[in-house]
Structure 1
């Protein structure tokens, strides 16, 4: 027995030692891809020595003698820290994810091939000006220089992910950077989904109810659109929810996850210190690492500092010594779906205003890991690429004998958005920056600007020229063979909304309506915000003059105007509950919840239970209001819409009809539905967070879901790569934290301000910024999430152009020395 015990002990000891050795070897291999920030490299592709000084927050400050050398170093730094992320963005744009992820990404690849995003990016290289071409080429050389070093020195394949997936990395090309910029348009444009959804809803609801569930901005009425079924009589009404890409790697997001942002500026007359102020926080999907990467470039025109996207040689959000710029989504309607009639005698032709014409057709091969490749037939019409019915639920709105195509501003081979961004970085004044925006194509943005003397907001991006007689005004798919439904080019830049040095001295945008113009000059019918703007207006009006701190306070504000306005309306007949109900009963919990909400000021604070009660109530209220009328289509409206709910409870145009449950004999009032929904919410909350209502915390449910798109789904690994943080804010607060709205954890914070910046031109080097994770994309780096906790607490880091400050306590200085020419 003793001998057996000894052998078991020896075996166990050996297994433990073997496990430790394996873990140690694995750790050694993984850490090989951590870059040495203090290394010196002799390298080709630059004309003079370059320094990459990483300050104590790991933000690279790049100093070189020429702009191409600086862009080379930016490419080098991006590749050092975010090589996996860059290659994934490129693969997404190319439609080549399935080569390493298999069949699950095949639909995404197919759609990207049909849109031909990468092919159009390749064509767009020639459209850039000479300086931009030089920057793109230098940047690509910098990326490739790091890739070559990784291969030559066996530096852990460049990133840990390459040990699990293919480590074949193609050389970086100028077109790759343009493709990633175009990919942002894919992620942010939602007009196509809106058109299809409006068409589907119009087939099952009367026009008044369509206006309820898909409300226009309440500040302006809109004439009724035709019933979609009347445009295509042979189309059968359908509830069917068809195949939609649902993968973290897919750029095609749900319609309510389109781009959003905040930006505001104050002129010197409204600034306490006498210099212009600008604040900006763009809202995108949370990921680990963040899509944003902070950097400073010392260009010939001067230093610029701000947020870049790995793979793109631009400071997209930031400032120079004399100019600051920020972006918000303009919500321009930049897409139109067309129903194309196919020739019944020749399926290779479609109908145009001039008769039958052949589709432009070619084939594309999608290679799929562990499966046979598939060949996709790509077809284009004069209106744009043909999309299959299996995408965007298009089959449900496409009649027999027809296909759907899409017109989209991003689908052009002469896209000069990169040149526009390059000129913006080098602008010295608001007026120069506005002129730089003239060349921007897509995705359309509101460009918020501030220099030392003034402020401006200019919409950039091409506006489609639509016919005033367009049958659906671009709000639903239209017959593509009719001339009045087609685009006739683009409107001049002068038609884009522009606001320069307003008399009030304050400019702001929260994706709210910016102009009130009739179609077809209206920009869009579907603005992104009707709520945050109300809170912003109050904060701006509360002060005669503003400071950097007051702008930060507004950026971090968590008071929900929506909660303050909806709760008195919804609960007006519920506040008084009569005598206290017996403890432990649903009525007693309801009474307690209503008492807490009555005393609540609408602050969506992570430490409070009231925001969780409110959010759960609104979620269940939306579900009860729409489930009977919409059936399976209700899944597309899971997120509570405050304008819809307000219309219902104010009975706008008879909207209270939504409160009656169609399938029941009794007639339910809105008060009945409000009470039942609150009981539903409290039951759900007690099941998930316990019965002690005072112990509930909004932050426990509203965690920022900053997950690694690939490793974040793998058991065990996900605990090391995903970043979860308790957060304040909500769907409609200025510190926006958009909830998931579906699934077992509907209140996860999945979309918000991955970047925040506040610039003060009274003292430019006192400006501040932050991103939501860290600069490094390497999970074993201490800079993978080091900025995340500061971000969660509402803190910032200095945004200085002072070289001495960058060098003070720097985590490393990388020196690049040009290699001697061959033959010397």
Structure 2
């Protein structure tokens, strides 16, 4: 970092003489002419008022080559950092502080799996040919134009991007969805160290599963470290998928008489924003899409005929397996009734300004051993990771190539069937009148006695390979009678699919609104629904506690409680009850559960999706063993712990927000700063980060601007990565709200030009019509052979 700051100081000195020239060289070119070798014909690019390129090519190969070039000129550093993250190569450019993250991703074997996926692709398929053209465009930009500021600051030496890099980034996306890494160690600890009675609030009463693995004290330390590492990676300034909302309404439910599509994937905020929007057209193909770094096909998109959005399915497609080690031969583990050797491979993590780190990666027949991720914190028992992403055939590249062209219900269904991992909900609508939802991903039928919520015993029958189910068994709906499909990361109704689903409050809130009789939906009331910051969580949590709290409190403590009791659940910027409730939510968890779990596993609990439903269940159960404080000789009950939590919460708020409760406003305590990966230290924070902004919304409300579960203040970590609305009566007038701006180039006009509008709930057009695009364009950029 000293080298970075020295380079930055030099740049600032240059600012008086040549700094502006240096920065102008790095800005995207949006008019004029550029040579792009490999094109068969010229490609015209018009940039609209938001900086979104509208690309017209004579064939699809040229279209994707141009997309790669354009994507790189605004997001090359994002591409570089994401491939390094997935491959476990961040410490090489960011230093020793990233060694733990690199260990994790080396242990996950994403680079190894990516190489295998690339090798298995059909090299004659249209998807592979498009990927090669896209990568060629990226690599030509990198070889011919000025490198990003961040490359100079970090001393990054450019190297060509490959198909394996693209598949590694897909692997990182799959890791983002793998909540089992965070939840299974915690729940296994609760079951095996506290007892089955403590599982009831997690909805796991009677779900002890098969034989518990024999784990030593050091193993529990290692499992906690794994949960914490998985929760912390990738760290500030890098995107990670968290959840989403999406719905599609049939024409019978809309004001226009045509289907309406709404979607807002929830992703950890970063600089630059995750999505690169582009409007692509060639003979026989047109799509306005949102593209992820190093993936040529839009993961969200629409045109005049159809469109779709995504949410996380959150099915459990990963098992942690505690291996049984042969005492006489520690390099062997039990597998299907016999002892087998662990495979070993040595790797080296290069560390900037530090000594290289060597690690031994191991693999059992169950999958990669993750102990190497933990360094000195690893326990003696090898923990294997069995994951659908590693094992199943996963033609996801071709699936999204087809989804980008899926104009009919049958074509969209067939595209969804090609996705094995990560699990995704695809919400799709067409101008012809169809709406549908498919849960995409390979579902598992585990052996009898194997409970997906817990670490499995590798020497028992519960660790036998699961059976893959056909796509026809996946949850889905096509043109349901109620007139809409809805996905908000909830457990799919009517289907027994193990998973780490979000609390159902957000889903219930959206469904309640969509079920309202007599409402004809349009883009205006759909905007209001996407921006809804309300929840009934406070009412559900407080209802069983209010009587006991009222009996225990008096004076200001009681007055503030009554204010909270009357709250409508809306997280407005001036709301004091929102502050009171979110502090109580954390404080109740701490007072009731930290003594049993200890500091390490309590911290792990806060990083899981199970904490909120567990607290609602706990509040409703006065006899739960969690209410007793193990640190005292007395036996406490719900009334004592709830009152203690309320008083401790008020004391904390006085300490961090001031003694006067009039100052306790949600907008002061709940803020959003868009963080650049290098924006952790001054003065880079002021130059590269964007914000701070007062932020509405909260976790598990439709406007899911979410913070880490904990005490005030609450910096927002993730939220809608883009909000999209398309009424297929006028798809050329689709609307979007993006959190930052199109460009990832610091100091560019479109680096953060949408941030304030995003926080205010403003939307901007996604233009499809040539006349509107031409009216906005500030010239044409021609890419020529």
Q: Same fold (TM over 0.5)?
A: yes
* Separation in 2, partners of 1:201, 1:208: 9
* Separation in 2, partners of 1:48, 1:436: 30
* Separation in 2, partners of 1:372, 1:418: 38
Scaled by the length of structure 2, the TM-score of the pair is 0.92
Matched, 1:172 2:168: no
Partner of 1:331, secondary structure, is coil
- Which residue of structure 1 lines up, in the alignment, with residue 474 of structure 2? 496
- Which residue of structure 2 lines up, in the alignment, with residue 539 of structure 1? 513
- Which residue of structure 2 lines up, in the alignment, with residue 420 of structure 1? 399
**Matched-pair contact (CA < 8 Å) for 1:703–1:748:** yes
Matched, 1:147 2:142: yes
Residue of structure 2 aligned with 1:555, choices 521, 527, 530: 530
| 1:125-204 matched pairs, under 5 angstroms | 125-129=118-122, 130-150=125-145, 155=146, 158-204=147-193
Partner of 1:673, secondary structure, is helix
Runs of 4+ in 1 over 4 A off after TM superposition: 16-24, 233-241, 243-249, 392-396, 575-578
Partner of 1:204, secondary structure, is helix
Residue-by-residue CA offset, 1:428-460 (whole Å, 9 max, x unaligned): 122211111111121111111111211111011
Partner of 1:305, secondary structure, is strand
Displacement after TM superposition at 1:18 (Å): 13
Residue-by-residue CA offset, 1:160-182 (whole Å, 9 max, x unaligned): 11121123111121222222122
Residue of structure 1 aligned with 2:452, choices 467, 474, 477: 474
Residue-by-residue CA offset, 1:211-231 (whole Å, 9 max, x unaligned): 22x335xxxxx6421487x44
Partner of 1:265, secondary structure, is strand
* Separation in 2, partners of 1:81, 1:143: 11
Matched, 1:776 2:755: no
**Matched-pair contact (CA < 8 Å) for 2:345–2:360:** yes
**Matched-pair contact (CA < 8 Å) for 2:456–2:462:** no
Partner of 1:93, secondary structure, is helix
CA distance 1:773–1:465, shift in 2 (3 Å)? same
**Matched-pair contact (CA < 8 Å) for 1:123–1:414:** no
* Separation in 2, partners of 1:120, 1:17: 41
Matched, 1:91 2:84: yes
Using the TM superposition, name which of 69-78 and 546-555 deviates more: 546-555
Matched, 1:676 2:644: yes
Matched, 1:110 2:103: yes
Answer with 1 or 2: which has the greater Rg: 1
Displacement after TM superposition at 1:89 (Å): 0.6
CA distance 1:483–1:596, shift in 2 (3 Å)? closer
CA distance 1:139–1:649, shift in 2 (3 Å)? same
Residue of structure 1 aligned with 2:245, choices 262, 274, 277: 262
Using the TM superposition, name which of 500-509 and 292-301 deviates more: 292-301
**Matched-pair contact (CA < 8 Å) for 1:604–1:730:** yes
**Matched-pair contact (CA < 8 Å) for 2:181–2:230:** no
* Separation in 2, partners of 1:669, 1:284: 39
* Separation in 1, partners of 2:708, 2:478: 37
**Matched-pair contact (CA < 8 Å) for 1:190–1:258:** no
Using the TM superposition, name which of 754-763 and 244-253 deviates more: 244-253
Displacement after TM superposition at 1:482 (Å): 3.5
| 1:10-25 matched pairs, under 5 angstroms | 23-25=16-18
Displacement after TM superposition at 1:26 (Å): 3.8
**Matched-pair contact (CA < 8 Å) for 1:302–1:320:** no
* Separation in 1, partners of 2:683, 2:79: 25
Residue-by-residue CA offset, 1:501-549 (whole Å, 9 max, x unaligned): 11111111111111334xxxx2214322221122112111224332222
* Separation in 2, partners of 1:736, 1:36: 35
* Separation in 2, partners of 1:249, 1:91: 17
| 1:356-755 matched pairs, under 5 angstroms | 356-388=339-371, 391=374, 395=378, 402-412=381-391, 414-452=393-431, 453-467=433-447, 469=448, 471-517=449-495, 522-544=496-518, 545-575=520-550, 588-632=555-599, 633-638=601-606, 641-651=611-621, 654-655=623-624, 657-709=625-677, 711-723=678-690, 724-742=692-710, 746-755=713-722
* Separation in 2, partners of 1:778, 1:650: 51
CA distance 1:231–1:307, shift in 2 (3 Å)? same
Using the TM superposition, name which of 128-137 and 353-362 deviates more: 353-362
CA distance 1:391–1:764, shift in 2 (3 Å)? same
Scaled by the length of structure 1, the TM-score of the pair is 0.88
**Matched-pair contact (CA < 8 Å) for 1:117–1:182:** yes
Displacement after TM superposition at 1:577 (Å): 8.2
Residue-by-residue CA offset, 1:758-794 (whole Å, 9 max, x unaligned): 1111211122112211111122112111111121111
CA distance 1:138–1:245, shift in 2 (3 Å)? farther
Partner of 2:776, secondary structure, is coil
Displacement after TM superposition at 1:351 (Å): 2.1
* Separation in 2, partners of 1:781, 1:369: 29
- Which residue of structure 2 lines up, in the alignment, with residue 6 of structure 1? none
**Matched-pair contact (CA < 8 Å) for 1:623–1:638:** no
CA RMSD of aligned residues (A): 2.8
Unaligned 5+ runs, structure 2? 1-8
Unaligned 5+ runs, structure 1? 1-15, 217-221, 579-586, 819-824
Residue-by-residue CA offset, 1:278-324 (whole Å, 9 max, x unaligned): 11111111111111121111144431113111221111012122111
* Separation in 2, partners of 1:549, 1:476: 45
Residue-by-residue CA offset, 1:255-291 (whole Å, 9 max, x unaligned): xx86311111111111121101111111111111111
CA distance 1:18–1:461, shift in 2 (3 Å)? closer
* Separation in 2, partners of 1:392, 1:498: 43
**Matched-pair contact (CA < 8 Å) for 1:120–1:413:** no
Partner of 1:759, secondary structure, is strand
